[in-house]
Amino acid sequence: MKNEGESSERPDNTAFTQQRLPAWQPILSAGIVIPGFLIIGLAFIGIGIGLFLTSQTIQVLEGPVFFYYGLSNYYQNFRKYGVSTDYYQLSGDTQYFKSPQDSCSPYSYDSQNKPIVPCGAIANSFFNDTFELYQIINGTKKLVPLDGKGIAWWTDYNIKYRNPTLVNGSLANAFDGTSKPLNWPRPAYELDLTDQNNNGFLNQDFLVWMRRAALPQFRKLYRRITEGDYAAGLPAGNYSLTVHYNYQVLNFDGQKKIIFSNVSWMGGKNDFLGIAYLVVGSLCVVMSVVMLIVYAKFKFSEDDV
């Protein structure tokens, strides 16, 4: 027919036009689902046990120990708060040192109308308590060395945030004509008096703070304990923690806390994940058993629907 003339209206006889494409047509039936559920269930139970045990083996004071501070009732996820920052400033663009973006308001200019760098609410509310941890050995306090390096995202530290180019070899000069955030005791270039490289926008604590928490209860990494006698963990004993209290939380019913923990291959201590796997896995197994019973009782089978 097709060859008879070009005018022929005859549709093409292809699998596509005739809706005859080869297709896999799975059917969710008891025959597939019961063994499927059983396998998934058992696998999940296995994973769950693994995860749970891993989580349980995390011994709090075995090294390396991580030192967190926690805040509650603190809304870093408030929208206005969240946008109150100027990425261009933080990437070292000095143009924006003179006129911060509007989103920073009311933290853009100080009372003398000098631009604030870094501007915005997030930077302004930088957590500025400091902690010192001592082990008390025979009545004497031994300072536990805290490692403040590498606590922020590598990309934040190396790519996303940039200090302004030094002026005359000095970071402080680059900040000329700007004002420090109101709540800060010292300007950005003096954040860490002990380590010149830990200043400006590349201060690790600052980077940690700038990564906003998702929920009003959060904890942020403060230090790691990786050095000296404590690299393998904090040995049992008496410890004393000195808190330099700067940060006000009472006015919003907030709480502060300190957490020591360590991590395994899968992250921090988290029983819930293991439990969730156990529960879902068991449910799968139970359901497959129930289905089997119903299946047997009602005598339905694949070829007898």
Partner 1 sequence: MIRWIRQQLGFDPPHQSDTRTVYIANKFPQHGHYTPQRFADNRIISSKYTIWNFVPKNLFEQFRRIANFYFLIIFLVQLMIDTPTSPITSGLPLFFVITVTAIKQGYEDWLRHNADNEVNGAPVFVVRSGSLVQTRSKNIRVGDIVRVAKDETFPADLVLLSSDRVEGTCHITTASLDGETNLKTHYSVPETAVSQTVSRLESLQGVVECQQPEADLYRFVGRITVTHHGEEIVRPLGPENLLLRGARLKNTKEIFGVAVYTGMESKMALNYKCKSQKRSAVEKSMNTFLIIYLGILLFEAILSTILKYAWQAEDKWNEPFYNQKTDKERDRSQIWKFITDFLAFLVLYNFIIPISLYVTVEMQKFLGSFFIGWDLDLYHEESDQKAQVNTSDLNEELGQVEYVFTDKTGTLTENEMQFRECSINGIKYQEINGKLVPEGLTEDTLDGSIHCLSHEEELFLKAVSLCHTVQISYDQPDGHAEPFSHINGFSPQMEYYASSPDEKALVEATKRMGVSFMGSRGEIMEVKTFGKAEKYKLLHVLEFDANRRRMSVILETPAGEKMLFTKGAESAILPFSTSGEIDKTRVHVDEFALKGLRTLVVARRLFSAEEFAEVERRLHEARTALHQREERLLQAFNNIERDLELLGATGVEDKLQDKVQETIEALRLAGIKVWVLTGDKHETAVSVSLSCGHFHRTMNILELVQQKSDSECAEQLRRLARRIKEDHVIQHGLVVDGASLSLALREHEKLFMDVCKNCSAVLCCRMAPLQKAKASYRTFLVFLSRGHEYESARPVVRLIKTTPEKPITLAIGDGANDVSMIQEAHVGIGIMGKEGRQAVRNSDYAIARFKFLAKLLLVHGHFYYIRIATLVQYFFYKNVCFITPQFLYQFFCLFSQQTLYDSVYLTLYNICFTSLPILVFSLFEQLVHPHILQTKPALYRDISKNSLLSFKTFLYWTLLGFCHAFVFFFGSYILMGEDTTLMGNGQILRANRQLMFGNWTFGTLVFTVMVITVTLKLALETHFWTWMNHFVTWGSIAFYFIFSLFYGGIIWPFLHTQDMYFVFVQLLSSGSAWFAIIIIVITCLFPDVIKKVFYRHLHPTSTQKSQWWKRTGMYTNRVAIGDDFIALQPLSRAKNQLGKIRNPVKFIEAYQGIGCMDSMCCFSEGRSGCARLGGLVGRVMGRCDPARASRCDLSLSSLCCQQISYKLERDEPVTMHP
Question: Which positions from 224 through 253 interact with partner 1, judged by CB under 8 A?
Answer: 224, 226, 248, 251-253
Q: Count the Cβ atoms, other than its own, within 10 Å of residue 128.
A: 16
When binding is defined by CB under 8 A, the residue of 46, 57, 137, 150 that contacts partner 1 is 150
Cis? peptide before 118, omega within 30° of 0:
yes
CB of 134 to partner 1, least distance (A): 22
In the stretch 5-34, what mask flags binding to partner 1 with x, by CB under 8 A?
--xxxxxxx---xxx-xxxxxxxxxx--x-
Using an 8 Å Cβ cutoff, are 121 and 107 in contact? yes
CB of 48 to partner 1, least distance (A): 9
Q: Which of residues 164-223 bind partner 1 (CB under 8 A)?
A: 208, 211-221
166 vs 290, beta carbon nearer partner 1 = 290
Residue with tokens 């929920």: 215
Q: Which of residues 279-298 bind partner 1 (CB under 8 A)?
A: 280, 283-284, 287, 291, 294-295, 298
User: What single string gives the DSSP state of each residue in 124-155?
Assistant: HT----EEEEEEEETTEEEEPP-B-TT-S-HH
259's tokens? 């957490």
CB of 238 to partner 1, least distance (A): 25
In the stretch 30-59, what mask flags binding to partner 1 with x, by CB under 8 A?
x--x------x---x--x---x--------
Sheet holding 65-72, edge to edge: 218-225, 65-72, 255-261
User: From CA 119, how far away is CA 105, in angstroms rounded?
Assistant: 8
22 vs 169, beta carbon nearer partner 1 = 22
Using an 8 Å Cβ cutoff, are 90 and 203 in contact? no
CB of 77 to partner 1, least distance (A): 4
User: From CA 169, how far away is CA 300, in angstroms rounded?
Assistant: 83
| Coil, strand or helix at 10 | coil
Q: Which range of residues in 166-174, 193-201, 237-245, 278-286 is near partner 1 by CB under 8 A?
A: 278-286
| Coil, strand or helix at 68 | strand
Q: Which range of residues in 146-154, 170-178, 193-201, 234-242 is near partner 1 by CB under 8 A?
A: 146-154
CB of 231 to partner 1, least distance (A): 10
When binding is defined by CB under 8 A, the residue of 42, 172, 259, 292 that contacts partner 1 is 259
CB of 295 to partner 1, least distance (A): 7
**By CB under 8 A, is residue 273 in contact with partner 1?**
yes
Count of residues of this chain found to bind partner 1 when the rule CB under 8 A is applied: 106
When binding is defined by CB under 8 A, the residue of 81, 109, 157, 260 that contacts partner 1 is 81
88: region left, alpha or beta (phi > 0 left; psi from -120 to 50 alpha): alpha
Q: Which range of residues in 119-127, 137-145, 170-178, 235-243 is near partner 1 by CB under 8 A?
A: 119-127
**By CB under 8 A, is residue 107 in contact with partner 1?**
yes
Using an 8 Å Cβ cutoff, are 37 and 291 in contact? yes
Using an 8 Å Cβ cutoff, are 117 and 100 in contact? yes
Name the nearest CA neighbour of 287 among 36, 37, 31, 48: 37
